[in-house]
Amino acid sequence: MTAALDSPTGILRDAPPTSIGRQALGQLVGKRISLASLIVVSFYVLVGLLSFTPFVKDRIDQSYSLDNAYAPPALRQTLADGSKTISPAVWFGLDFEGRSVFWRAAYGTRMALLIMVCTCAISISIGAVLGLIAGYFGGWVDDLITWLYSTVSSIPWLLLVIALAYVIQNIQMVNARPAPSWIAEFFGGSTTVILALGLTDWVGLCRLIRGEVIKLRDLDFIVACRAMGLSEGRILLRHILPNTMHIILITFSLSSVAYVQVETVLAFLGLGITSKPSWGRMIDDSKLELLRGVWWELAAATVAILVLSLALNILGDALRDALDPKLHGVK
Amino acid sequence: MLAYIVRKLLLSIPILLGIVTLTFVLFCVVAPDPARVYAGKFKSEAQLQALRHQLGTDVPKSRQFWNILTFHFANSSRYQEPVWHLFLRKAPISLAIQIPAFFIELGLQLALALLVASRRGTILDYGITFLAVLGMSVPVISLYLGTQWIFGGWLQWFPVAGWSPGFFYALHFAALPIIVSVIGGIGGGVRFYRTVTLEEINSDYVRTARAKGVSARDTLFTHVFGNVLIPVLTNTVVVLPLLFTGSLILERLFQIPGFGALLFDSIHAQDQPVVMFIVYVTSILYLFMLIVTDVLYTLVDPRVTLK
């Protein structure tokens, strides 16, 4: 009897289950420009991951110059014995201490990746949890959370980030107790940036998820879950959260662009990454180098940020078109 | 209408209290003792106490909360003068840059958006939209540094940096900052207003207007433009307080002694009263402008009902 249902020609087999990730991927690969930006982003992720290895770390502080620190971009490096060899270290020129702009830019990719992932982890967890709770339970919890995000969104975002970074940096300065060495090594002084961004940028996501959950919570399938006696936690995590996944994905790709950009502002204010090279620090360093006509460090960091932002912007818009039928952007 | 405004104002009181609480928690509870941060490690307890008195942090926390709520701020530790005086001295300089930049930027954004939306799908549309996205993706600091180096340092069309009172001097020094600030901010607006314009162009009322014989130009400038102004309103009114604060990066790089540069210097000099003042006052003004936007919205868009 059950054989009829299990047969390959049965109706039940016709539609293979598709996850939201697979749908998104299918849509993205379909269009040439979004496929191109997906490849660019993957390339950045690859470079960033490779820069976690000691191979790159050993090269960021090393001096490659023999006599002049500000060597312009060149294909071949002059070694101590006067011979020349092809070395990527000098491809983007050297900075004011004779350090390789190429390797520092590569290491900056690692920092950007770290900031994007860690910040999104913080902001998405806060935004998703508060949004789910507010939307699902309603009542005074909703009022409280709505008040909280209305307050935070009434402060201009950049100003709030700067204020928070300022306070966090002062705390770190007064508390002389240093962090464990592996944390310092891994984060390279980016904790101020990550916390300042992550603790302030959950507002938009929280508002979107709350709105979506309010729409979802009275739909039949949730009522059915409740009738079957599933616990609130299970309903929220297994049945409502997956239906808000598209919002989280879109937010992740669009807001990570902003994080890289704000990192440059914080670096400029002296509130950014302290101990390791990042794109923001490279731009900050270049303001003195420009006086001597040394443009390559600025150019390297700018192009790195520009290409990544462009790709992530296109990817985010494509994701929004692919995943959110209600937000039909006019093209 | 009056009842609506009053209700809006009353509803914003919890948010106002929220802003005060957030400022208080951030600067008076979480932040370390500002006297210690400002003075450094090697001061005696008596010196620290004197500094605390000066910074107003030697009074109970409840009193500090009240001081923030009633706009009583300690004197700037760096300038030794009331923060309000600093505000009145610095804000006009920021405005001299920000107001022209704001209006030029808005005008260009609207003009370009209407232009590309009415020529949708052409090379012009793709070109300008691409440039707009490109402009949004360039880090602003790189843009400022790059233009300063090219036009100030290399071509020497403008002074690299500096400031001097007097209208013509100010114009001399402000020209480049205004231009780069317009270039830096124009992209996002062009892209957003283009989308808005396209949505309006595809509406039924536009088809009706065209059908009854209104020319394409008149439809665009009277019917479409009027409706595009509604999202423009929400986008621009809220940023008006940010004109006072100026751009801290721009003013720092071009050596303009405005309010933005003051924030920059205060962060570097650990001048907590000034940092707190700027964050708090800007947030209050921002909140006020959000309310103004809501009220204006009901005035320009009859579809929005007063609830």
Which one has a higher pLDDT value, A313 or B46?
A313
CB under 8 A, 24+ apart: contacts of B182-185: B182/B101, B182/B104, B182/B105, B182/B108, B183/B135, B183/B143, B183/B147, B184/B135, B184/B138, B184/B140, B184/B143, B184/B144, B185/B101, B185/B105
- Chain B residues 151-210 with a CB less than 8 Å from chain A: 153, 195, 198-199, 202
CA distance linking residue B71 with residue B69, whole number of Å: 6
Interchain contact A327–B (C-beta under 8 A): no
Query: Is the separation of the CB atoms in B277 and B56 below 8 Å?
Result: no
* Residues B159 and B271 placed together within one structural domain of the fold: yes
* Residues B144 and B274 placed together within one structural domain of the fold: yes
Which one has a higher pLDDT value, A151 or A181?
A151
**Do the chains contact at A283 and B198, CB–CB below 8 Å?**
no
CA distance linking residue A237 with residue B135, whole number of Å: 40
A101-118, pLDDT tens digit by residue? 888 888 889 999 999 999
CA distance linking residue A278 with residue A259, whole number of Å: 13
Please tell me which residue of chain B has the smallest CA distance to A258: B137
Please tell me which residue of chain A has the smallest CA distance to B248: A269
Q: How confident is the model at residue A305 (pLDDT cuts 50, 70, 90)?
A: very high
B contact test, residue of A153, A166, A171, A172 with most B CBs within 10 A: A166
* Residues B19 and B91 placed together within one structural domain of the fold: no
Residue B75 lies in a domain: no
pTM of the model: 0.84
Residue B283 lies in a domain: yes
CA distance linking residue A126 with residue A123, whole number of Å: 5
Backbone angles phi and psi of A77, in degrees to 5: -95, 140
What tokens does B119 get? 């020529």
Q: How confident is the model at residue B176 (pLDDT cuts 50, 70, 90)?
A: confident
Range of the domain at B226: 87-300
What tokens does B70 get? 């009633």
Final residue before a domain boundary, out of B19, B39, B69: B69
Query: Nearest-CA distance from A81 to chain B in Å?
Result: 37
CA distance linking residue A144 with residue A150, whole number of Å: 10
Size of chain A in residues: 331
Least-confidence region, from A65-74, A142-151, A181-190: A65-74
* Residues B49 and B123 placed together within one structural domain of the fold: no
* Residues B262 and B162 placed together within one structural domain of the fold: yes
CA distance linking residue A295 with residue A155, whole number of Å: 36
Please return the burial class of A122, using the count of CB atoms within 10 Å of its CB with bins 0-12, 13-18 and 19+: middle
Residue B279 lies in a domain: yes
Amino acid at B287: L
What tokens does A135 get? 């939307």
- Chain A residues 231-270 with a CB less than 8 Å from chain B: 257, 261, 264-265, 268-270
Residue B306 lies in a domain: no
* Residues B114 and B150 placed together within one structural domain of the fold: yes
CATH number at residue B142: 1.10.3720.10
* Residues B193 and B250 placed together within one structural domain of the fold: yes
Q: How many helices (H) and strands (E) does chain B have?
A: 16, 0
Biggest CA pair distance of chain A: 86
Q: Which of A154, A98, A67, A14 is CA-nearest to residue B281? A: A154
* Residues B171 and B122 placed together within one structural domain of the fold: yes
Final residue before a domain boundary, out of B43, B69, B95: B69
* Residues B202 and B100 placed together within one structural domain of the fold: yes
- Which residues 6+ apart lie within 8 Å of B166 measured at CB? none
Q: How confident is the model at residue A18 (pLDDT cuts 50, 70, 90)?
A: low
Residue B45 lies in a domain: yes
> How is residue B306 annotated by DSSP?
P
Query: How many domains in chain B?
Result: 2
Q: How many helices (H) and strands (E) does chain A have?
A: 15, 2
**Do the chains contact at B142 and A271, CB–CB below 8 Å?**
no
Q: Which ipTM did the prediction report?
A: 0.86
A31-79, pLDDT tens digit by residue? 788 888 889 999 999 988 888 888 777 777 777 766 667 777 776 777 6
Final residue before a domain boundary, out of B69, B99, B116: B69
Query: Nearest-CA distance from A285 to chain B in Å?
Result: 11
Query: Nearest-CA distance from B106 to chain A in Å?
Result: 20
CA distance linking residue B94 with residue B79, whole number of Å: 19
**Do the chains contact at B141 and A265, CB–CB below 8 Å?**
yes
* Residues B102 and B44 placed together within one structural domain of the fold: no
B148 CB neighbours in chain A (<8 A) are 290
* Residues B53 and B101 placed together within one structural domain of the fold: no
Query: What is the predicted pLDDT for the residue at A118?
Result: 93
A297 CB neighbours in chain B (<8 A) are none
Q: Which of B25, B36, B3, B54 is CA-nearest to residue B276? A: B25
Interchain contact B262–A (C-beta under 8 A): no
Cβ neighbour number for residue A243 with a 10 Å cutoff: 16
Given the structure tokens 């880090």, which residue do they identify? B139
Query: Is the separation of the CB atoms in A283 and A301 below 8 Å?
Result: yes
Residue B181 lies in a domain: yes
Query: What is the predicted pLDDT for the residue at A326?
Result: 56
* Residues B190 and B258 placed together within one structural domain of the fold: yes
Amino acid at A164: L
A contact test, residue of B13, B145, B148, B154 with most A CBs within 10 A: B145
